[in-house]
Chains A and B, each alone.
Chain A
């Protein structure tokens, strides 16, 4: 069964304290690995798509990487405004996204 597991469930960081979020997946025939950010009560906001192992993408303080079994979202020198839930999703169909439960990130000043 295709599965996406995210860890940790929750993470609390001091402003400027870099860390990584993990997404492990067992999705056969993966066509894409997606990262989204979701603020409370809002829809997910697209961040990155990764298509093949070894691929990396960056946006401001965020960097996403992909291996054959997992993806990491690295957050460098986070700010309080980076506080949100980060969702990871895999897709082997090209149309259905299979989401993990997310990592709730809190960055304190």
Chain B
């Protein structure tokens, strides 16, 4: 099974900050890497698919990059509505696996 390791597990940042979350896969997952945002009590929401493609309706301050085993989610200028938990996920092979999550909190 592919293990997905996210870092950091939690992060405190201020409005306007640039924030980066990293995700490492235990083996190559090609471009089958996706990012989700989840707010308390809500379903996850797809932000970025296939490493770097922005899902329709998602603000352009969100971006993704990487290849092979190392991937990054960047929020260029943090907004109040971005405080949430973020998950990476690989769909290269079953079992699909998620990172453990990064909780983004207000500083």
- Asked if A and B bind, the verdict is no
A contacts, CB < 8 Å to B: none
B contacts, CB < 8 Å to A: none
